Amino acid sequence: MAGPLGDLEAGGTAEPPPTGFTDPDSLTGGIHPGRLVVIAGGATTSTVRRLACPFCHGQHADPLPCTGMTVLIIGGSGFLGAELVRQATSVGRVTATTFNSRPGQAPDAPWHRLDLRDPRRLGEVIDTVAPSAVINASSGAADWAVTADGSVRLAQMTARRGIRLVHVSSDAVFSGASRSRYDETALPDPVTPYGAAKAAAETAVRLLHPDAVVARTSLIIGDGDSVHEQAVRELAAGTRKGALFTDDIRCPVHVADLATALWELASSDATGVFHLAGPDALSRYELGVLIARRDGIDPCLLPTGRRADTRILGALDVRLDSRATQGRLSTRLRGAGEFLDTTR
Ligand SMILES: NC(=O)c1ccc[n+]([C@@H]2O[C@H](COP(=O)([O-])OP(=O)(O)OC[C@H]3O[C@@H](n4cnc5c(N)ncnc54)[C@H](OP(=O)(O)O)[C@@H]3O)[C@@H](O)[C@H]2O)c1
């Protein structure tokens, strides 16, 4: 075995290496020859295992402190991507990020122009950054070449290079035909081109990169700056046509909770499908009322309607069940009733 443990095995005189855990280090002064070393001890099968970080080999007290890993965020100029970058740079994590049309606001993160439709450029960016992990927070909407083909290429390239991959997906992979909530074992049955592209991407990621994380989420809400919150303000002001549907149900999540959970998953050795949505199932109208109240807007100004009465393609009632994932994370995913409640 190479490194300090190899020196120990060979009876060498290297300084005892730290165990990587603060308390044992203070008690033992590190790992000494002749001591029983339990590697990867302490993990349970029911929680996301963060004790043996695959990047810094240290102990993580919370999801963010692994500064030893260089992470590439695809789509850092987007809504979720910007929060991922913000959280990372705030703790000094080495982070590079990409934009497609215009770079984002974070000056500390190196920005790389990337169009996922261009395989040569994707290879160049990955080889320039040489990341330990990639989080794909891009959105090409219903454009198959970006959302499906681009994700497939990214999965191929990261798998070939042994790079950890966290792929962000969507509740749009489900039709809403199920009468129950969709848990992590539910199979995709998309009813829109966007949902089909996301489902194709998920399938490719899981097959090409079996160690990857596929993280499905729902409506992403912030502190006023998401597209959903902007729409509520514009509908109330009458500057936008449309209505908030009373029969279109989702499980909104706060962008900060979502980004922290993604960092937690990226820093772990977890693999497979995870659901990162809030516990509250709300109609678009109910969500709009909560946003309006928070923003001091009279909810009576919000136009309502029924999606079932329109010809708009898409699922009506899609409730992601995130309980299994939540049980494995230390990050708490709050419900919209909590994070939009100004009286708390
Ligand atoms: N927002 C939601 O409510 C919601 C709900 C469920 C799931 N999701 C998923 O969450 C993730 C993040 O969504 P978001 O709302 O944060 O997205 P967003 O704000 O629309 O940002 C999209 C990002 O993708 C980049 N991008 C667009 N076309 C690209 C291309 N051809 N090649 C490379 N990058 C490209 C954009 O770059 P530029 O800005 O520079 O063009 C931007 O950084 C997506 O996977 C989405 O499917 C979102």
Distance 322 CA to ligand 1 centre (A): 22
Lookup result for tokens 């339990």: 38
Q: Which atom of ligand 1 is nearest to the CA of 77?
A: 43
**What residues are in contact with ligand 1 under a 6 Å CB criterion?**
75, 77-81, 99-102, 114-117, 137-140, 146, 150, 168, 170, 217-220
Distance 172 CA to ligand 1 centre (A): 14
Give the closest residue (by CA) to ligand 1 atom 12: 137
Q: Which has the closest alpha carbon to 287: 245, 239, 318? A: 245
Distance 158 CA to ligand 1 centre (A): 19
Is 256 in a helix, a strand, or coil? helix
Gap between the Cα atoms of 74 and 85, Å rounded: 10
**323's tokens:** 């309980």
Q: 271: domain CATH number?
A: 3.40.50.720
Yes or no: say if 276 and 258 are a contact pair by the CB < 8 Å rule: yes
Q: Which has the closest alpha carbon to 273: 142, 335, 182? A: 182
Query: Residue 237 falls within a domain, yes or no?
Result: yes
HSE, CB side, 13 Å, CA atoms: give it for residue 154. 33
Give the per-residue pLDDT at 227.
98
Q: What is the pLDDT along the chain (344 residues), one digit of tens a residue?
A: 333 323 322 333 334 444 343 433 443 344 333 232 222 333 333 466 554 455 555 555 555 545 668 999 999 999 999 999 999 999 988 899 999 999 998 888 899 999 999 999 999 999 999 999 999 999 999 999 999 999 999 999 999 999 999 999 999 999 999 878 999 999 999 999 999 999 999 999 999 999 999 999 999 999 999 999 999 999 999 999 999 999 999 999 999 999 999 999 999 999 999 999 999 999 999 999 999 999 999 999 999 999 999 999 999 999 999 999 999 999 999 999 999 998 76
Query: Residue 64 falls within a domain, yes or no?
Result: no
Query: Residue 223 falls within a domain, yes or no?
Result: yes
Give the per-residue pLDDT at 47.
61
Q: Tell me 91's DSSP state.
A: T
Gap between the Cα atoms of 236 and 241, Å rounded: 10
Distance 255 CA to ligand 1 centre (A): 13
Distance 78 CA to ligand 1 centre (A): 5
Give the per-residue pLDDT at 31.
37
Query: Residue 330 falls within a domain, yes or no?
Result: yes
Contacts of 274 (CB under 8 A, 6+ apart): 184, 213, 214, 215, 216, 265, 325, 328
**127's tokens:** 């080889």
User: Ligand 1: which of 113, 139, 221, 230 to mutate, judged by most atoms within 8 Å of the beta carbon?
Assistant: 139
User: Ligand 1: which of 72, 80, 84 to mutate, judged by most atoms within 8 Å of the beta carbon?
Assistant: 80
Yes or no: say if 247 and 317 are a contact pair by the CB < 8 Å rule: yes
Question: Which DSSP helix (H) or strand (E) runs through 158?
Answer: helix 151-160
Give the per-residue pLDDT at 29.
41
Yes or no: say if 306 and 241 are a contact pair by the CB < 8 Å rule: no
Q: Which atom of ligand 1 is nearest to the CA of 141?
A: 47
Gap between the Cα atoms of 249 and 77, Å rounded: 28
Give the closest residue (by CA) to ligand 1 atom 3: 219
Give the per-residue pLDDT at 41.
31
Is 241 in a helix, a strand, or coil? coil
Distance 139 CA to ligand 1 centre (A): 3
Distance 258 CA to ligand 1 centre (A): 14
Domain of residue 176: give its range: 71-339
Contacts of 14 (CB under 8 A, 6+ apart): 4, 7, 8
Query: Residue 101 falls within a domain, yes or no?
Result: yes
**205's tokens:** 């990621």
Yes or no: say if 84 and 137 are a contact pair by the CB < 8 Å rule: yes
Whole-number Cα distances in Å, 234 to 203, 282, 306, 341: 37, 20, 19, 21
Q: Which atom of ligand 1 is nearest to the CA of 117?
A: 31
Distance 76 CA to ligand 1 centre (A): 9
pTM score, whole prediction:
0.85
Yes or no: say if 235 and 303 are a contact pair by the CB < 8 Å rule: yes
Yes or no: say if 265 and 274 are a contact pair by the CB < 8 Å rule: yes
CA dihedral 171, 177, 182, 186 (to 10 degrees): -100
Q: How many domains, the chain?
A: 1
Q: Where are the beta strands (DSSP E) in 282-326?
A: 282-283, 304-305
Query: Residue 57 falls within a domain, yes or no?
Result: no
Query: Residue 115 falls within a domain, yes or no?
Result: yes
Yes or no: say if 319 and 275 are a contact pair by the CB < 8 Å rule: no
